[in-house]
Amino acid sequence: MNALNHPASRHDYRCVFISDTHLGTRGFRGDFLADFLRRTSCEQLYLVGDIIDGWRLRKSWYWDEHHDEVLRQILRKARSGTEVTYIPGNHDEMFRAWLPLGLEIGGIKLRDEATHVTADGKRLLVTHGDAFDSVVRYYKFLAILGDSAYTFALVTNRWFNAVRRRLGYPYWSLSQWLKRQVKEAVKAIDRFESALANEARRRGFDGVVCGHIHHAEMREVNGVLYLNDGDWVESCTALVEHHDGRLELIDWAELNRLSFFEPVRGRVPQAA
């Protein structure tokens, strides 16, 4: 049996936050999320935006049994007592038109944003985060710029400049340009985090939970908690709250890769 499906490890949390699953696209790690949901129970589940990818829906549409399973798991949770709140993002903004109706579908509440109070009394603003976005363009750039892309770019740069020289143009450093872009990307993520943290602080919250930039994070920014629950496309991350109010970022893929090498029971975090 695959360790991912090991029946020994079940997780019980007070609250689970997931976002940026992008159902309906090929990139969605539906197998991992279905597994996570199957083996996780919680009192509250927040779907923090970009859950169903409606942008893609108009062009190409991808759906397999894992996408079905994820929807089934969410609906099953809603039916069996989990309080499920769906906060639309920019990729599922078609749901935003329904917000004024205060709609509830299959036990799932549709909200523009939410306030979550942790077991130890922290008040968290829950929002997708795209309203504070000046960042995605840069972030995508940073994401594709892995080490190998960088090396490739440097090699290409030699040829590029050989041609430029022949045409009488001065030397132009691609690596300098790339470094500048990366610096801009990092600054843009910083701006996103600060903007959300400042909004939370301005409104008297202790922290903010968001998604949108596919970059899981948990740290203090400008005196409030900045919590980004990540995504299920580039990584498989969720933010969870234990029963005592402790918050934790879970990397499901990482957790389960580890469990291939040791007994599952020893590797999974124990729910409080």
Report the distance separating Cα 259 and Cα 6, nearest Å: 10
Quote the tokens at residue 200.
């939370």
Instruction: Please report how close the Cβ of residue 50 comes to Mn ion at its closest, in angstroms.
Output: 4
Question: Which residues, including other chains, have CB under 8 Å from residue 248's CB and lie 6 or more apart?
Answer: 218, 239, 240, 241, 242, 269
C-beta of 56 vs 212, nearer to Mn ion: 212
Residue 257 CB, nearest distance to Mn ion (Å)? 27
Minimum Å gap between C-beta 90 and Mn ion is 5
Minimum distance, C-beta of residue 130 to Mn ion, in the bound complex (Å): 5
Close Cβ partners of 50 (under 8 Å, ≥ 6 residues apart): 19, 20, 21, 22, 89, 90, 91, 92, 128, 211, 212, 231
For the sheet containing 83-86, what is the strand order? Answer: 104-105, 108-110, 83-86, 40-47, 11-18, 237-241, 247-251
Structure tokens at 12: 């019980």
Cβ nearer to Mn ion, comparing 233 with 271: 233
User: Least CB distance from residue 78 to Mn ion, whole Å?
Assistant: 23
Query: In the complex with Mn ion, which residue's Cβ is closer, 90 or 194?
Result: 90
Query: Which is closer to Mn ion, CB of 130 or CB of 199?
Result: 130
Residues that bind Mn ion (CB under 5 A): 50, 89-90, 130, 212
Cβ closest to Mn ion, residue 140 vs residue 203: 140
The smaller minimum CB distance to Mn ion, of residues 130 and 241, is found at 130
**Residue 150: exposure state from Cβ atoms within 10 A (0-12, 13-18, ≥19):** middle
Round to whole Å and give the CA distance between 25 and 139.
20
Of 77 and 214, CB closest to Mn ion: 214
Residue type, 48: V
Q: CA 8, 12, 14: angle at the middle one, nearest 5?
A: 170
Q: How far is the CB of 240 from Mn ion (least distance, A)?
A: 21
CA 124, 129, 132 angle in degrees (round to 5)? 115
Q: Is 44 helix (H, G, I), strand (E, B) or coil?
A: strand
> Which C-beta is closer to Mn ion: that of 3 or that of 54?
54
Q: What number of residues does the chain have?
A: 272
Minimum distance from CB of 93 to Mn ion (Å)?
9
Minimum distance of Mn ion from residue 65's CB (angstroms): 25
Contact yes or no for 155/50 (Cβ under 8 A)? no
